Amino acid sequence: MNTTHSTSDSSPRANVRDSSPRASVRDSSPRASVRDSFSSSAASRVPYTVLGGPRWNRVRKYPFRLTLLVLSRGDRLFRAELLRDLHALGAGEILWVEGHEPSCDVESLSRDFPFVRFLLMKAPTTAGERINIGIAESRAPFVLSMWSDMRLSPLPPSLLVSAEKSGAVCTVPLARNAIQEKIPSWQSPVWKKRRFSLAFRAPRRDGELTLFPFDYCGLYSRESFARSGGFDPAISNSYWQKLDFGFRCFLWGERLRGSIDLAVAYVGAPPTENATPDQGYKLFYLKNLAVRMRREMGVLPTWKFFDYLAHCGTGPLSAAREFLAVRDWVRIHRFRFRRDPMDVIARWESA
């Protein structure tokens, strides 16, 4: 499917089509080799419409330093107020991403806020896939993502300088609930009784390592994110999708760090996570926990298939297809791996 765009004359559709790096984000994603084997449909681009927003200055690669990326969630109350507050922060641009059933107030919002570009999905997408698309559409080297049912604290003046110096793929904010209590939103990987698990904690100090962006919120380095492959659209469960992204970053020598100066607060109740092992967990396991280093490259050893077969809950033929699909993906990206899972956790515990 081809990407579609707004029919409005003020839409920057031609500029987006010519200059967007969407293909680079998707090409490095495991979607093409993995998803085809886990579903009957071939991988394809998600079509979406771009509504409103100013025209793109083609002369400069990055016309500004920061894009605010807002994912739509919840009711329509206070959306206009949120956009006014975000505009007052002085970011270079604001992108608003709607799902495949956009709110009925989007067109009126685009008229009232001509500086905002609205991305309207034309097919069901995961939250991670909407992040992929939003970051690819951005015109800044840093993209700060949040949800429409959140409020963003004033941005610290040194935010972008600190993020650039840290080299982190994503700087994860401190998260608070509606009564301003800290949420245990930063994670550490641990081996517990010979099994992988996560330890969640409330943020304590700036610069701590964290495994993945809680609720997808964070300040992403656009170029580092593209190199990482982004979020895997083949994983529909948001918990395993975020964990797959974060763990892969550490396996590939990247890192995610937290910031207590960057903060978001939920208007209502924070979303709950579904950590039930499912198809997404199987992909996470094969792409991350089962990988080993051999002669400075990542491999998915044959002997790991028998562990997988014993616990995957499918028959031998299906298990073999799933295993071989991910093994091909690991082979393609074998030189991206810098360490294996045990090394990631050992370094984490000694940090």
The pLDDT tens digits of the residues spanning 193-236 come to: 778 999 999 999 999 999 999 999 999 999 999 999 999 999 99
Answer CATH for 13-266 from 3.10.20.30, 3.90.550.10, 3.40.140.10, 3.40.50.300: 3.90.550.10
> CA-to-CA distance for 293 and 302, rounded, in angstroms?
13
170 — phi, psi (to 5°)?
-145, 135
First to last CA, the chain: 46
**6 pLDDT higher than 80:** no
pTM of the predicted protein model? 0.86
Three-state DSSP at 25 gives helix
Residue 169 is predicted with a pLDDT of 98
Domain ranges in the chain are: 13-266, 279-350
Displacement of CA 184 from its chain's centroid (Å): 19
Give 34 or 93, the one with higher predicted confidence. 93
Mean pLDDT of the chain: 86
Contact 94, 170 (CB under 8 A): no
**CB-count burial class (<10 Å; 0-12, 13-18, 19+) for 253:** exposed
Three-state DSSP at 321 gives helix
Residue 59 is predicted with a pLDDT of 62
DSSP per residue, 223-239: HHHHHHT---TT--SHH
**67 pLDDT higher than 70:** yes
**3 pLDDT higher than 50:** no
pLDDT by residue (tens digit) across 104-161?
A: 889 999 999 999 999 999 999 999 999 999 999 999 999 999 999 999 999 999 999 9
> CA-to-CA distance for 91 and 47, rounded, in angstroms?
27
| Token output for 216 | 């997808």
**13 pLDDT higher than 60:** no
Residue 336 is predicted with a pLDDT of 97
In 10 A of CB 27, how many CB atoms? 12
Residue 45 — very low, low, confident or very high, per pLDDT cuts 50/70/90?
Answer: confident
DSSP secondary structure letter of residue 135: H
Residue 351 is predicted with a pLDDT of 64
CB < 8 Å & 24+ apart, contacts of 303-309: 308/282
Least Cα distance to 144 among 133, 131, 157 occurs for: 131
